[in-house]
Amino acid sequence: MDQTSIPRTDRDKLCIFRACFTGLPNAFGTYDPKTGQVRQVKQPVTDDVLLNHLRGRQPYGVYLLIGDKTRAVAVDFDEEDTWKPLQFVRQAAHYGIQAYLERSKRKGWHAWLFAELPGVSAGKARIVVKAILEDIGAPTTEVFPKQDRLGEAVQFGNFINVPLFGALVPQGRTVFVDPDAGFTPFPNQWDILAQAKRVKESLLDEIIEINDLGGNHASANPAAHKGQPSSSFHGLLPCAQRMLAEGVTGYQRIACFRLAIQLKKVGLPLASTVAVLLDWASRNRPANGKRKITETEVREQTTWAYLRNYRSCGCEEPAIAAFCDRSCPLSRPEKDGSSASSSGLITDSNVKGALDEDTRKPSQPTNLQAQPAS
């Protein structure tokens, strides 16, 4: 008998669900389906919590980070357009990574990557996912987990609502869809999860090494953070790394504002950025007898930076120009005239409910050689 035709019990489904969508065991996120109000619940993630989600009683959001490990990565395409999520799936498959698309609860799509158990390095997974996003021209797309590890500054991270919320499944929401069949829901959601192709850490290592991603993404190596907790963040520009590591002698408030923008871009939540910049402020050496920037001023500048979607790096400002580095991709075009960020990676139905039984097409052959996104 074909394995996919074997009926599954609720216990079977819970085991499958846990293997895909559990992270921090002592806290989870949720929201009120009527008002949309979001909150954190500091309670154990029990079977009842997961069953309530699957039965449509209370949504469950997972904090994916467990220390510096994660069992999954989710990419949040917050638009109805299907082009970017489709390109992401295709580009990921080119490197031997299977991504699974979920129709989100309200609008847009989530692309899920599932890792070998008990988990892989979150830093390495984020490096590879962000590189793929750069490859398809969507570098600012939100990635979960948003950090590489938990610590004093990041105790929980950010939660993401998981698929198969029972109240939305009948509406075709929070379900996995087939991008090769017009983004229609797979007829058996549990087959998709049970047969999910999981990413091995060795594959992440290979992609990072062959693409020379490690040198520009120190966060993949936990040892890189020792002694410099505020300067090792994935994707941070060289000027920002220097400013954080060395401190500044002038223009403290402008520097604080620009650093906050950069830290927001690489995924740090507001509270974590404040903590990083308070640490940074202690290393400042104001000239001419001036005082150091105060905690209140740090919080004010950081809050302003998070209020709007600022994109400028402030390269022309004296506070930033003093730390410019020739290795910065914003100041050094490639020999062929294209920017470094635009190049590709270079390498050798009907669904009744979340607990109801619901074929995955064969994955593309693994190929670590780069191909430009179409």
The CATH number of residue 42's host domain is: 3.90.920.20
- Rounded distance between C-alpha atoms, residue 137 and residue 275, angstroms: 31
59 plus 88 within the same structural domain: yes
> Looking at residue 6, what is its pLDDT?
72
236 plus 192 within the same structural domain: no
Number of structural domains in the chain: 2
Residue 183 located in a structural domain = yes
Q: Where are the alpha helices (DSSP H) in the chain?
A: 10-21, 47-54, 83-94, 122-135, 189-194, 201-210, 238-246, 252-265, 270-281, 295-307, 318-321
Nearest CA among 104, 171, 196, 207 for reference residue 353: 171
228 plus 172 within the same structural domain: no
130 plus 229 within the same structural domain: no
Give the residue carrying structure tokens 């039965």.
55
The amino acid occupying position 247 is G
Give the residue carrying structure tokens 């979607």.
309
42 plus 131 within the same structural domain: yes
Nearest CA among 102, 84, 75, 142 for reference residue 373: 84
Nearest CA among 183, 9, 29 for reference residue 100: 183
- Say how far residue 226 (Cα) sits from the centre of its chain: 23
Residue 336 structure tokens: 């062929």
Residue 294 located in a structural domain = yes
Residue 373 located in a structural domain = no
Q: What is the DSSP string of 203-253?
A: HHHHHHHHTT-GGG-GGGSGGGGTT-TTT--TT--HHHHHHHHH--SS-HH
> Looking at residue 342, what is its pLDDT?
32
> Looking at residue 241, what is its pLDDT?
87
Count of beta carbons in the 10 Å neighbourhood of residue 29 = 20
194 plus 234 within the same structural domain: no
Residue 372 located in a structural domain = no
160 plus 251 within the same structural domain: no
136 plus 43 within the same structural domain: yes
Residue 369 located in a structural domain = no
Q: Work out the angle between the directed axes of helices 252-265 and 270-281 (0-180°, nearest 10).
A: 140
Residue 66 located in a structural domain = yes
Residue 219 located in a structural domain = no
Choose the final residue of a domain: 321, 347, 365: 321
> Looking at residue 64, what is its pLDDT?
97
245 plus 143 within the same structural domain: no
User: Across the strands, what pairs with 108?
Assistant: none
28 plus 101 within the same structural domain: yes
Q: What is the DSSP string of 56-90?
A: TSS--EEE--BTTEESEEEEEE-SS-SHHHHHHHH
Residue 46 structure tokens: 């029990």
Nearest CA among 153, 292, 295, 299 for reference residue 229: 153
137 plus 60 within the same structural domain: yes
Choose the final residue of a domain: 289, 306, 321: 321
> Looking at residue 360, what is its pLDDT?
33
> Looking at residue 353, what is its pLDDT?
59
> Looking at residue 77, what is its pLDDT?
96
Choose the final residue of a domain: 205, 240, 269: 205
Q: What is the pLDDT of residues 141-164, one digit of tens each?
A: 999 999 999 988 888 999 999 999
Low-confidence ranges of the chain (pLDDT < 50): 1-4, 216-232, 331-352, 358-374
Q: Are 155 and 147 in contact (CB under 8 A)?
A: no
- Rounded distance between C-alpha atoms, residue 296 and residue 337, angstroms: 44
Provide the domain limits for residue 145.
3-205
Residue 326 located in a structural domain = no
190 plus 259 within the same structural domain: no
